[in-house]
């Protein structure tokens, strides 16, 4: 039977996933895995009545932009009290002993430094995944969590409660964090400061296929519900491990305080060899009935505490503070330090982030400062040793003028950073704009790397993005390091860029806050550059996802005469300055103001095509059904969850042919 075949394949693939991602012990080759996955994909496509959102084929995510719906937690997600010394751990132990007045065990576990998640399972299947949010309610990130291979989508084993919740930490392993940052560096995107931010940022991406491409991992550490398999925390987690969850082996039941201290001591150094970030140990009372007896305070449970490892710290002298101007004019203060060794590397500089941080530290030149390297790539200054403040120098006052061009700096409401507003004359900004303009996702001009741009700028051959189109082979070839052939290649690539579509040109201009997605939205609404130039605040803020801040930035950009001139020159050189005729003709606003969820399989267009059709007709895609959904574009075999939700909210289903009539494709 086809149904059995599908089920067998799903079971085999789930098992293979479990062995690979949870146990780190692969049982079949990648080739074999891919073959079975393809087989399953084909069977599911041809027999869509057996669709299951928890099938191993659904782990690849989707590129439909999702909006996250807020969901209330059944049990609030409170956090733990932090302790930093063995003395405080002893206090916790004594407090617990006094309150219980009977024998008790403690479980020590590592404290994983990622982002917390709550997973709800019903009848052995993953139903919902919710972020911590404010502790009372969080975001429904189920679609993204489904792509995490170490999270089981369906469970197998004994004593699985009909419904339960399991909490854990989603992490981006160090190796993946490094890979991601290297990739972002190449694409000139801002780097993640630490794996925790990277994991949290990834989990909130709207496009779940990008989430799938970043290899998130998850450790589970707390089970909640009514009919749990055991009476102790430890045994519950061991059961969870057998059902398919990744539960750490770095866990110990301790009978006395000495065993707890041994655990702390061992893992303080052993954790450095783990593939993921940890920042402490969580100590929990093992018996669930004792946990219940101890109860909660307003902020945290009385039955558990977190012991935080001391971040590696050094003390050194602050020699001076310098200020760097970034490509978009952001000013970053940097502390220049007396060199000091910290976790095996010599540290000479530390980021000071922004003016508020300098003010809060009350920094003075010559201060002895504490430098820490806690899971961050760039060390930071965490405090001043004021006991050593003798003969101290001047108080550090954040600069008021740009160190490169002397313009008066500005600070936007609600933002921590200072900016240099002199976009068109401040050297690092001019060069930055040019580098952004030629980058791969913008105009994709090969051969104009940072060094060449610097050289061309210094030789006064490039002063703005329009100058690129005046460059001659001769100009380039006579510069150091560039031969005739590479010069010709660059010129060819520049010529080629004249056919880059209008939406990428708008992105390439480097208007502050206008990224790729916003550029696309602006272009679809204001089909030519002339229309965009004339657009008012009111018209701009009507565009989906364009708020006051972006709108103001667009208006400011075009109000600047120099930008106006640059654009006129770009027009003369023949760059694309309007949406192609085909795209314009294909565009209507019949779906304006509508939020549409696509569900099921279709025969006339693919789901991705429908997604684009919706956007072209002024509608908005969303991946989850909510009260805001205008209608569901329903295909064959809609997901049962979506169907249920749609019915309960009374949301209309519109089928394929009907939909094509609405947008008059029929």
Phi, psi of 202 (to 5 degrees): -65, -40
Token pair recorded at residue 322: 């310098």
Is residue 217 at the binding interface for ligand IVH, with CB under 6 A as the rule? no
- By CB under 6 A, tell whether 92 contacts ligand IVH: no
Using the rule CB under 6 A, give the single segment among 89-97, 110-118, 378-386, 559-567 that binds ligand IVH. Answer: 110-118
Total interface residues for ligand IVH by CB under 6 A: 14
Question: Does 442 participate in binding ligand IVH (rule CB under 6 A)?
Answer: no
Q: Which residues face 280 on adjacent strands?
A: 111, 308
d(CA 24, CA 28): 12
Q: Judged by CB under 6 A, which stretch of 4-12, 72-80, 188-196, 495-503 contacts ligand IVH?
A: 72-80
Which of 106, 116, 170, 442 is close enough to bind ligand IVH by CB under 6 A?
Answer: 116
Q: Which stretch binds ligand IVH (CB under 6 A): 87-95, 300-308, 496-504, 612-620?
A: 300-308
Q: How far is the CB of 153 from ligand IVH (least distance, A)?
A: 22
Separation of alpha carbons 491 and 493, rounded Å:
5
Q: Considering the rule CB under 6 A, would residue 502 count as an interface residue with ligand IVH?
A: no
Contact 256, 246 (CB under 8 A): no
221, 437, 507, 631: which one binds ligand IVH (CB under 6 A)? 221
Q: Rule CB under 6 A: choose which of 124, 161, 225, 301 binds ligand IVH.
A: 301
Binding ligand IVH (rule: CB under 6 A), the pick from 51, 192, 222, 307 is 222
The span of 299-307, 416-424, 469-477, 503-511 binding ligand IVH (CB under 6 A) equals: 299-307
- The residue among 120 and 355 lying less far from ligand IVH, judged by its C-beta, is 120
Of the residues 10, 36, 73, 111, which one makes contact with ligand IVH according to CB under 6 A: 111
306 binds ligand IVH (CB under 6 A): yes
Q: Does 121 bind ligand IVH (CB under 6 A)?
A: no
Q: How far apart are CA 517 and CA 543, in angstroms?
A: 12
Residue 267 or 610 having the CB closest to ligand IVH? 267
Helix (H, G, I), strand (E, B) or coil at 347: strand
Q: Which residue carries 């991602």 as its tokens?
A: 21
- Nearest to ligand IVH of 235, 539 (CB atom): 235
304 binding ligand IVH? (CB under 6 A): yes
- Pick the closer one to ligand IVH by CB: 33 or 221: 221
Q: Which is nearer to ligand IVH, 138 or 600 (CB)?
A: 138
Q: Answer yes or no: are the C-beta atoms of 643 and 629 closer than 8 Å.
A: no
- Round to the nearest angstrom and report the end-to-end CA distance of the chain: 38
Give DSSP secondary structure letters for 497-562.
GGGS-HHHHHHHTT-TT--HHHHHHHHHHS-BHHHHHH--HHHHHTSTT--HHHHHHHHHHHHSHH
Least distance from ligand IVH to the Cβ atom of residue 577, Å: 50
Choices 87-95, 106-114, 403-411, 640-648; region in contact with ligand IVH by CB under 6 A: 106-114
Site for ligand IVH in 382-441 (CB under 6 A): none
Instruction: Determine what percent of the chain falls in helix, strand and coil, rounding each to the nearest 5.
Output: 40, 20, 40
For residues 155 and 124, is the Cβ–Cβ distance under 8 A? yes
Q: Which of 29, 79, 187, 647 binds ligand IVH (CB under 6 A)?
A: 79
Catalogue the active-site residues: 111
Residue 109 binding ligand IVH, by CB under 6 A = yes
Does position 165 interact with ligand IVH (CB under 6 A)? The reply is no
Does residue 307 interact with ligand IVH by CB under 6 A?
Answer: no
Cα gap 396→363, rounded to integer Å: 6
Picking from 75, 37, 43, 38, the residue whose alpha carbon sits closest to that of residue 166 is: 75
Q: How many whole angstroms separate alpha carbon 621 and alpha carbon 546?
A: 16
Among 51, 112, 507, 557, binds ligand IVH (CB under 6 A): 112
The answer to whether the CB of 217 falls within 8 A of the CB of 148 is yes
Kindly state the smallest distance separating residue 384's Cβ from ligand IVH, in Å: 27
Phi, psi of 4 (to 5 degrees): -65, -40
Binding mask 273-292 for ligand IVH (x = CB under 6 A): ---------x----------
Which CB, 118 or 144, lies closer to ligand IVH? 118
If DSSP codes are grouped into helix, strand and coil, which group holds residue 430?
helix
Centre a 10 Å sphere on the Cβ of residue 88 and count the other Cβ atoms it contains.
14
Tokens of 268: 């303080």
Q: 358 Cβ partners below 8 Å, 6+ apart?
A: 321, 333, 352, 396, 398
3 state DSSP class of 324: strand
- Give the residues across from 372 on adjacent strands: 313, 380
Binding site for ligand IVH (CB under 6 A): 78-80, 109, 111-112, 116, 169, 221-222, 282, 301, 304, 306
């Amino acid at each position: 039977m086809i149904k059995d075949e599908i089920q067998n394949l799903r079971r085999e693939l789930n098992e293979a996933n479990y062995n690979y991602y949870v146990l780190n012990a692969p049982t079949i080759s990648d080739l074999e895995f891919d073959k079975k996955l393809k087989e399953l994909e084909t069977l599911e496509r041809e027999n869509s009545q057996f669709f299951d959102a928890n099938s191993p084929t659904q782990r690849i995510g989707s590129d439909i932009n999702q909006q996250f719906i807020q969901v209330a937690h059944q049990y609030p997600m409170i956090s733990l009290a932090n302790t930093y010394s063995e003395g405080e751990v002893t206090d916790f132990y004594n407090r617990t002993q006094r309150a219980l007045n009977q024998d008790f065990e403690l479980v020590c576990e590592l404290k994983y430094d990622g982002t917390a998640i709550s997973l709800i399972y019903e009848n052995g299947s993953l139903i919902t995944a919710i972020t911590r949010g404010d502790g009372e309610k969080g975001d429904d990130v189920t679609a993204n969590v489904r792509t995490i291979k170490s999270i089981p989508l369906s469970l197998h084993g004994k004593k699985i409660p009909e419904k339960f919740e399991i909490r854990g930490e989603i992490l981006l392993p160090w190796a993946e964090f490094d890979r991601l940052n290297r990739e972002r560096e190449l694409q000139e995107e801002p780097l993640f400061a630490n794996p925790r931010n990277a994991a949290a940022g990834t989990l909130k991406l709207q496009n779940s296929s990008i989430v799938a491409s970043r290899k998130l991992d998850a450790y589970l550490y707390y089970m909640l519900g009514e009919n749990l398999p055991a009476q102790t925390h430890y045994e519950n987690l061991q059961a969870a491990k057998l059902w398919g969850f990744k539960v750490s082996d770095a866990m110990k039941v301790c009978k006395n305080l000495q065993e707890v201290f041994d655990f702390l001591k061992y893992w303080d150094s052993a954790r450095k060899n783990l593939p993921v970030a940890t920042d402490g140990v969580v100590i929990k009372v093992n018996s669930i009935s004792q946990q219940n007896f101890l109860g909660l305070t307003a902020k945290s449970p009385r039955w558990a505490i977190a012991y935080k490892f001391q971040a590696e710290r050094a003390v050194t002298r602050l020699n001076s503070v310098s200020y760097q101007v970034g490509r978009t004019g952001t000013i970053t203060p940097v502390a220049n330090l007396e060199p000091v060794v910290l976790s095996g590397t010599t540290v000479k500089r530390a980021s000071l982030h922004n003016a508020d941080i300098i003010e809060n530290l009350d920094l003075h030149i010559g201060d002895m400062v504490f430098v820490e390297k806690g899971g961050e790539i760039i060390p930071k200054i965490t405090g001043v040793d004021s006991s050593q403040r003798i003969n101290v120098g001047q108080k550090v006052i954040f600069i008021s003028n740009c160190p490169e061009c002397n313009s008066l700096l500005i600070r936007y409401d609600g933002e921590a950073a200072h900016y240099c507003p002199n976009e068109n004359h401040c050297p690092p900004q001019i060069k930055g704009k040019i580098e952004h303009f030629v980058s791969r996702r913008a105009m994709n001009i090969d051969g104009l790397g940072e060094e060449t741009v610097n050289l061309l700028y210094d030789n006064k051959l490039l002063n703005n993005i329009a100058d690129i189109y005046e460059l001659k082979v001769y100009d380039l070839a006579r510069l150091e390091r560039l031969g005739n052939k590479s010069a010709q290649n660059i010129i060819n690539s520049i010529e080629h860029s004249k056919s880059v579509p209008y939406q990428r040109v708008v992105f390439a201009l480097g208007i502050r806050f206008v990224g790729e997605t916003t550029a696309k939205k602006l272009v679809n609404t204001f089909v030519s550059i002339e229309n965009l130039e004339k657009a008012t605040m009111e018209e701009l803020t009507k565009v989906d996802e364009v708020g006051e801040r972006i709108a103001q930035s667009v208006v400011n950009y075009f109000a600047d005469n120099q930008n106006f001139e640059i654009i006129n020159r770009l027009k003369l050189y023949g760059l694309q300055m309007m949406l192609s005729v085909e795209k314009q003709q294909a565009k209507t606003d019949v779906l304006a103001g509508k939020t549409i969820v696509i569900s099921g399989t279709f025969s006339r267009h693919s789901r991705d095509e429908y997604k684009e059709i919706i956007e072209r007709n002024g509608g908005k895609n969303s991946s989850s059904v909510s009260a805001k959904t205008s209608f569901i574009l329903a295909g064959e075999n809609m997901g049962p969850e979506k169907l249920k939700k749609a019915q309960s909210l009374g949301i209309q289903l519109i089928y394929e042919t009907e939909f094509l009539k609405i947008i008059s494709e029929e």
